[in-house]
Amino acid sequence: MKTLNRRDFLRTSGAAALFAATPGLAYSQVVGGPGPFDDYKALVCVFLFGGNDSYNMLVPNTTAEYNAYAASRQNLALLQGDLLPITPASAAGPDFGLHPGMAGVERLFRDNVAAFVTNVGPLVEPTTRDQYFNKSVTLPPQLFSHNDQQDQWTSLRGNVPSKTGWAGRMADLIRDGVAGQQMATNASLFGSNLFQSADETVAYVMGPGGPIQFQGFSTTPGDLFYEQRLAFERIVNAEYETIYERGFAEVQRRAIAAADTVSAALDLAPDLATVFPASQLGTQLQTVARLIAVRDELQMQRQVFFVASGGFDSHDNQNEDQPGLLGGVSDALAAFYDATAELNVASNVTAFTQSDFGRTLTSNGDGTDHAWGGNQLVVGGAVNGGDLYGSYPALEIDGPEDVGGGRMIPSTSADQYAATLARWFGIPEADLDIVAPNLPNFLQRDLGFMI
């Protein structure tokens, strides 16, 4: 076996390659802030990368409203007879229908554990069509840009640069109350992300199936790879002269400890009767369910998980691709809810969607272009389900919310959406403006979709 030395370690070691591939694998918790908690709650962000065409996910189902939708959507409109009909509990507007691929969500909605937040998106302040065209209102920068609007959703930065996300700021605020946790408050199963970036706490990044183990190591004494692990540990535990060497070594130490701790806990997870779909999102949510199952072993009180699915940038072939995309989200979320019910924690866990933006109502041939406001889905036992929240827009080209091509101005802000979730999570009212910095610009601070 080749002998490793410090120079090899810092320049070309496998550990360096692993760290580069999985930044944020290590984590820390810093004492300070409000707490402690005497219960368990988890938020699960399901990010739909590319921009979900959510006006084909939730469709008005009464005659006049459907006809306006069909005229605007042109060749992309779903047949009214194919929609899965739902009736909001508030009965404040027309009946609606879900995309025919979303039978799982239809069941959850009828069981009052799923709700939709309609026409929601990044806003700095309430915005009208006239204000938009007159440029008399502050707008989020770079509207309709994938990267910028993903950052807007995950950071709520408005027009002020931010290196932290709203989940990261929540983790910083509650760090005192969760100082005894054996795993970070924030955990991602889809790589590092701005959503969980923070000033003082660090997210734990793992693979879709669990912790990413260091390659070429063994815990069996006498094994060649066991000796290799011991050699690696001697290197990372050595005394180094520069702050960079010491910092790098500390990251590797914590990465090993985190992987061992979480993997050992997952080994105790019960076998679930719930069957998850064999998809990327299904695998991620199944792992989240297993981590929730071992929350006591890890002494967890608060967790925020980030999972994601891609492929929603539907510039073409939308009618062919959308059934699989929305059906996959529906099946995975329905299975996840069933798993939380099986674990008797359905009322302690809330999953919610985010996406870059909505899509244009108009067709570009066989797809759509980047837009703005859209509909989001919230699932969990603590959700005031079976209803719609916010104001569903008139799906009319050149209508009161359209700024061109069927790009809907959001009537509800992403800050209001996030603040409603953060309040349920345990963030005090006085700190909600830290989580959602644009919240003071809106009269309604709680959208009411959480119990």
**DSSP secondary structure of 131-170:** HHHHT-S---SSTT-HHHHHHHHHH--TTS--S--HHHHH
What does the radius of gyration of the chain's CA atoms come to, in whole angstroms?
23
Question: What is the strand order of the sheet 58-60 is part of?
Answer: 58-60, 96-98, 84-86
**Per-residue CA distances from 138 to 9, 118, 162 (Å):** 50, 22, 17
Write down the mean pLDDT value for the chain: 90
Domain-located, residue 120: yes
pLDDT at 21 over 50: no
Query: Could you tell me which residue, 215 or 243, shows the higher pLDDT?
Result: 243
Domain-located, residue 448: no
Domain-located, residue 429: yes
Range of the domain at 331: 6-49+59-441
Would you call 46 helix, strand, or coil by DSSP?
strand
- Residue 67 corresponds to which tokens in the numbers above? 């006809």
- Residue 218 has what pLDDT? 75
pLDDT at 411 over 60: yes
What is the arithmetic mean of pLDDT over 79-100? 90
What is the arithmetic mean of pLDDT over 431-444? 98
What is the arithmetic mean of pLDDT over 101-124? 98
pLDDT at 195 over 80: yes
Query: Which range is least confidently modeled, 32-46, 56-70, 374-388?
Result: 32-46
The per-residue pLDDT for range 222-254, each reduced to its tens digit, is 887 888 778 877 887 888 888 888 877 777 777
- What does residue 150 show for φ and ψ, rounded to 5 degrees? -60, -45
Domain-located, residue 405: yes
Sign of CA dihedral 325, 326, 329, 332: negative
**Per-residue CA distances from 273 to 226, 290, 336, 343 (Å):** 36, 12, 12, 10
Element (H, E) at 360: none
Domain-located, residue 227: yes
- Residue 36 has what pLDDT? 75
Identify whether 23 is preceded by a cis peptide bond (ω within 30 of 0).
no
Return d(Cα 434, Cα 431) in angstroms, integer.
5
**Are 119 and 390 spatial neighbours (Cβ–Cβ below 8 Å)?**
yes
Identify whether 323 is preceded by a cis peptide bond (ω within 30 of 0).
no
- Residue 353 corresponds to which tokens in the numbers above? 């969607």
Domain-located, residue 18: yes
Residue type, position 282, single letter: G
**Residues in Cβ contact with 176 at an 8 Å cutoff, skipping those fewer than 6 apart:** 31, 32, 33, 34, 35, 36
pLDDT at 59 over 90: yes
Domain-located, residue 449: no
pLDDT at 317 over 50: yes
Domain-located, residue 450: no
> Do the bridges between strand 114-121 and strand 412-413 make them parallel or antiparallel, or are there none, so unpaired?
parallel
- Residue 247 has what pLDDT? 77
**Are 67 and 373 spatial neighbours (Cβ–Cβ below 8 Å)?**
no
- Residue 316 has what pLDDT? 97
Instruction: Write the burial class of residue 135 (CB in 10 Å: 0-12 exposed, 13-18 middle, 19+ buried).
Output: exposed
What is the arithmetic mean of pLDDT over 433-449? 98
pLDDT at 295 over 90: yes
Query: Could you tell me which residue, 341 or 236, shows the higher pLDDT?
Result: 341
Residues in the chain: 451
What is the arithmetic mean of pLDDT over 173-199? 96
Q: How confident is the model at residue 92 (pLDDT cuts 50, 70, 90)?
A: low
The residues with which 186 forms a beta bridge, in sequence order, are: 304
Domain count, the chain: 1
What percentage of the chain carries pLDDT values higher than 70? Answer: 91
What is the arithmetic mean of pLDDT over 345-365? 98
